[in-house]
Every structure is written in structure tokens, then in C-alpha cells.
Structure 1
């Protein structure tokens, strides 16, 4: 009788789910990829949430201005990391496998389109960027070396308005972000008929979760990477944008 009870107890223990942990990440207002005010908190959040839940855990995302989101993720143990981020070399960060992609290029004024074949063609003009954002390796290196003149602002919306007002000819932006803002942001409604994406993309950029390079970050990166193998992140992104 004791053996039977012990066996039943062992089977019951095996059938119980493991205790769910909560992954705390920071992010920014960057719709349609991440935002407090859009469905599912954005396409990138939907992917990460699906990956976390596939591993039996929960996701909590807190939204801040971008530079603060990065600072908190790197310096506060309450957070394991931040997202969505482009990959770059960093000793204090660990990057997940790709959680999706985004087409990065330039927004331009419709009445003054810019033709270019390499970034060297853009050395004579001012290019808008968002302060704290990673762009492409080549562009960021050329900006750092002062080969390209960059004008930094605090948001994509500000850059769109500057391009619409012909204060700068180009600004770096993700085409999905531009499309969303032109349709949804009343503050840039006046720019809707004045700007468009430049015909040449900079790069189709992979998006990642950036984790702090510590034991907690390593743990959650492993969990996310395993979860990503269990879901179809591309299908989740496609479904989201099709809406």
C-alpha cells in the first residue's frame, strides 16, 4: 500500500506544471512594433510574449523613453533586458535570436526625392536620426567619423515633420513605423501628403531582445531562444501587420 501511494505521489508531482516566472523587459513607444496603446502592445511584443508563454512563463513589458528603457535594462536588476533592438557589438549585452525583421530606410519629401547608390553619395546633406537609436553599422560608423552629418532628435515623429518642412532632406526610419505614424498620429497629419519612403532601403534589419550580460540575462535568453523555436515568429508578425 505504501509503495502504491508513493508511486501515485510521484506521478502527481511529475504532472504538476513548473512554477511560472515573469520576464520583466523594458521597451519604448515604437508602434507598430511596441507600444502601450496598440493591440497586443505591438508586433514585437506579440512575438516575445508567444515565445515566453510557449516555455510556460509570463511576460511583463514596461514602456519608457528609449534611452531610459536601455539604461534601466542595463542597470536595474528588476529588468532582464529591453527590446526591440538591432544587433550591435556590446560587452554588457546578450542578444536573443531574431524576433522578426523591419525594413530600415529613409523618409524623404515627395517634392524633393533623393537618389543614391551608396552612403558616400549622402556626405553633402544632413540626415535625421533618433538619439540613442542604432541604425546600420556602416551609417553609424560614418556618422561617428563625421563623414556624414547627422542631426539627432528625440523621436521619429519629429524627423518626419522636419522632412515634411524641408528642414532636412532625409531621416532614418523603419517603413512600418512611418506607415503607422502617418495613419495614426494626429501630430503629423499635416505631413501625410508630403513625405514617403525613399525608394532604396538601407537594410532589412533583424530585431532582437537585448539582455543584460549577467546570470539572469543568460537564463532568460536561453528561455526566449528555446521558445522562439516553438513558435512561428514570422507568421505572428505577418498576421499582426495584415490587420
Structure 2
């Protein structure tokens, strides 16, 4: 599964015609998390999504400032800091009080990673009861298991990162690992720890859902102002071109 196939970009608004001087101090400060290849402090330009957003903001006279922090902390920290306008990526399901979701940026498939020598067939959440499932803290695994998880006790082991989750899977400490399919493909090719297992891991045949992501802007102050800016300047074709350019430049094998 290629990055181009997985990344479905849904920007539909025309580019904002109003341009301004980037040196005018118009800074949009957002929080994000480690989620390569889209966002990462270890990648060139801080990842594909950050690169694309920054280029579009710059073209329209704004500077994008990005701070990395654990995902659960981002929701709280952004509300406390007047200089921060919001956090990304955000989906409708994880928007909390005080935020509003922007236009959708992209859609990505989620599923379970599994070992090729131990593929798992399942149709209903109850079919997963016999298996240990790895989950990164902050991911919405409960949506996959609901409403069954309210009645059944699933074997869920929370970890701090996708890389650690996949290592546990490769070493047979869990049977499945909940993950973004794009991230699975990226990590097994790029992580020195996971590269030895790249021919042993795969995405489960059942794609669970397609998640739609945007930016969660605060409802007050700069957040409200920057939400309007964001929704006006985003252009589907331009964002798509920039992300594909990033993948071609930085992530080709």
C-alpha cells in the first residue's frame, strides 16, 4: 500500500486571495505529536503534514510554529497558553470542550497490524476477546470495540509509541497492534529496530475505519481568528501536491 494511495486529501476551499507580508508577525502556533511520516521532530521539515501546512501558510503571509508534545497533554496545554491556537491532527471524536474542528485535511485508514505467520480473521469485536491487543495511549481503540467493550473484558496493553507497540507485536508479546496503516508502512521501513521485521508484519485484512483529520482550534482569541484563516487558505490540490512532493523527496525507500 503506497503513501499516495493511503493519503486521501479532502481540502475543498479555494485559496485565500488576501496575501500579507510574512514578516508582519502573523504567527500561527499549533501543538502536535510524534506521528511519522506526517509529524516528527526526527524527519526533514518536521514531517509531510507540517511541511505542507507550513508552505501554504507561508504563501499566504503566515508563519507556522509547531511544538511537539504528548497528544493527551496537547489538548490541555493549548487551552492554557494564549499564544497557542490549537492542536493537530484532530478528529471529530476527540474534540473536547473549548475547541472547534477545522475543515478536514486528510483521511487515513486504521486497522490492526499482525504477524504474517499469525493472521487473525475477525468480524465482530467479540472475536478479538482471545487476543492481546496493543494500543498507544491516546488512540481511540474504544471506538473499535464499542459497545462490546462495555460488557466484555478485552486484553488491551497500552504503550507510549507505535514503534514500541510494533516491537511487542514482532516479539509475540501481543497478537495485534492498533495503528494507522500509513504509519505501519513507514515505521517498518525506517525504524532500525523494526526494519528486521518488515517482512514479518502486515496490516490485517479488515480495515476498521477511515479517520478524517483536521486542526482543533480554540473557540476564543487567536484560535477563532486562525480557524477562519485556515478554512480560507487551504487548497485541496496544493496540499496534495506538497505532501506527495515530500514523500517523493524524502521517503522513497
Q: TM-score, normalised by structure 2?
A: 0.79
2:122 paired with 1:116:
yes
Tell me what 1:70 maps to.
Answer: 75
2:215 paired with 1:171:
no
> Using a 3 Å threshold, how does the CA distance of structure 1 residues 40 and 141 change in structure 2: closer, same or farther?
farther
Judge conservation of contact 2:91–2:101 (CA < 8 Å) in 1.
Answer: no
Judge conservation of contact 2:112–2:204 (CA < 8 Å) in 1.
Answer: yes
Judge conservation of contact 1:80–1:217 (CA < 8 Å) in 2.
Answer: yes
Superposed CA offset, 1:109-150 (max 9, x none): 111001122333223322211101235734465546655432
Aligned CA RMSD, in angstroms, stands at 2.6
Tell me what 1:159 maps to.
Answer: 165
Tell me what 2:227 maps to.
Answer: 221
Alignment of 1:41-60 (within 5 A): 41-60=46-65
Tell me the CA shift for residue 152 of structure 1.
0.9
Q: How many residues align?
A: 229
Tell me what 1:235 maps to.
Answer: 241
> Using a 3 Å threshold, how does the CA distance of structure 1 residues 61 and 210 change in structure 2: closer, same or farther?
same
Superposed CA offset, 1:41-75 (max 9, x none): 11221232234234321101111233333332232
Residue 61 of structure 1: SS of its match in structure 2? Answer: strand
Tell me what 1:180 maps to.
Answer: 186
Residue 73 of structure 1: SS of its match in structure 2? Answer: helix
Judge conservation of contact 1:94–1:217 (CA < 8 Å) in 2.
Answer: no
2:88 corresponds, among 73, 83, 86, to 83
Judge conservation of contact 1:52–1:223 (CA < 8 Å) in 2.
Answer: no
Which shows bigger deviation, 165-174 or 203-212? 203-212
Tell me the CA shift for residue 97 of structure 1.
0.8
